[in-house]
């Protein structure tokens, strides 16, 4: 088995693979102040909760957009699983040809999602990642990574609404059922759900125009399945795209597949 770890600003997503089969996915809160042993205990608990033993893992790979956590998590996983732990960094073999101004600064999560997409979807491709930030990545017909558009994510937008207005409450993200809200909470949910869906449709149209042809679109992230049904564009959903990219990169660097 291979343990894939996607470290984001809000959540750490763990995925356990047997060959190409994703056996389990679980999420933990990202905590920069936890020690390696604390993370090791948490990871052991969730792995065993899903019915698997830590001694069944042959390797692990980490993607992180929180640099201070990387040494901590690498130590935690290495001590827990007793195996080599790979990380996605500028020196890692990915097979991705990056055409941005400084390829070394591209986020590891964006690298992983792009690798997964180029191995699974028709090119050109637009990848929409609905995470802490909302990110649109573009791969051209030759699988070159052209660049990214970044904007505030759904939860950041909700937090900003409540913090910067006197009468709007703090709410958790939930699906909306009507565009026209009849109270503050439903109005906020309508705006965030249908507004995000409309923004995705609009960005897809603009990106297609810029690359000069219609691209395959895949949306990933934990809330993808809540937003995509409200979009008008033809869209594929893959909430665990980064994990599949991590698996692809792991195999590329170990040559075990």
Percentage of the residues of the chain whose pLDDT score is greater than 70: 99
pLDDT at 256: 66
Check the CA dihedral 165-170-173-176 and report its sign: negative
Q: Domain residues of the chain, as ranges?
A: 2-87, 97-244
pLDDT tens string 66-102: 999 999 999 999 999 999 999 999 889 999 999 999 9
Per CATH, which fold does 97-244 belong to?
Nucleotidyltransferase; domain 5 (3.30.420)
| Mean pLDDT to the nearest integer, 196-205 | 96
pLDDT at 162: 86
Q: Which one from 19, 31, 37, 109 is the annotated catalytic residue?
A: 109
- With CA atoms as reference, report the closest residue to 111 among 125, 94, 87: 94
| Mean pLDDT to the nearest integer, 124-135 | 94
Class of domain 2-87: alpha beta
pLDDT at 127: 98
From residue 31, alpha-carbon distances to 3, 8, 61, 214, 232 in Å are 19, 10, 19, 40, 37
Asked which of 37-51, 55-69, 139-153, 173-187 is least confident by mean pLDDT, the reply is 173-187
| Mean pLDDT to the nearest integer, 203-216 | 97
Measure the CA dihedral 30/34/37/43, to 10°.
-20
Q: Alpha-carbon distance 2 to 177, whole Å?
A: 39
Same topology for domains 2-87 and 97-244, yes or no? yes
pLDDT at 257: 60
Residues with Cβ within 8 Å of 157's Cβ and at least 6 positions away in sequence, in order, are: 192
- Please confirm, yes or no, whether 6 is among the known catalytic residues: no
């Amino acid at each position: 088995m291979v343990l894939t770890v996607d470290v984001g600003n809000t959540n750490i997503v763990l995925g356990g693979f047997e060959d190409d089969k994703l056996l389990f996915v679980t999420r933990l809160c990202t905590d920069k102040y936890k020690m390696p042993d604390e993370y090791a205990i948490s990871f052991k608990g969730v792995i065993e909760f899903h019915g698997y033993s830590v001694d069944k893992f042959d390797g692990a790979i980490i993607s992180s957009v929180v640099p201070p956590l990387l040494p901590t998590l690498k130590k935690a996983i290495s001590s827990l699983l007793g195996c080599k732990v790979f990380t996605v960094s500028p020196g890692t073999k990915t097979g991705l040809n990056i055409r941005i101004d400084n390829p070394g600064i591209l986020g590891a999560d964006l690298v992983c999602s792009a690798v997964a997409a180029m191995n699974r979807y028709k090119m050109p491709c637009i990848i929409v990642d609905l995470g802490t930030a909302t990110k649109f990545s573009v791969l051209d017909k030759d699988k070159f990574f052209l660049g990214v558009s970044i904007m505030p994510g759904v939860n950041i937008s909700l937090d900003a609404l409540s913090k910067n207005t006197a009468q709007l409450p703090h709410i958790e993200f939930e699906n909306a059922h009507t565009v026209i809200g009849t109270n503050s909470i439903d109005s906020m949910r309508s705006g965030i759900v249908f507004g995000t869906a409309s923004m995705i449709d609009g960005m897809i149209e603009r990106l297609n125009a810029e690359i000069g042809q219609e691209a395959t679109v895949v949306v990933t992230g934990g809330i993808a399945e809540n937003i995509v049904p409200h979009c008008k564009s033809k869209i594929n959903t893959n909430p665990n795209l980064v994990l599949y990219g991590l698996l692809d990169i792991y195999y590329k660097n170990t040559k075990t597949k």
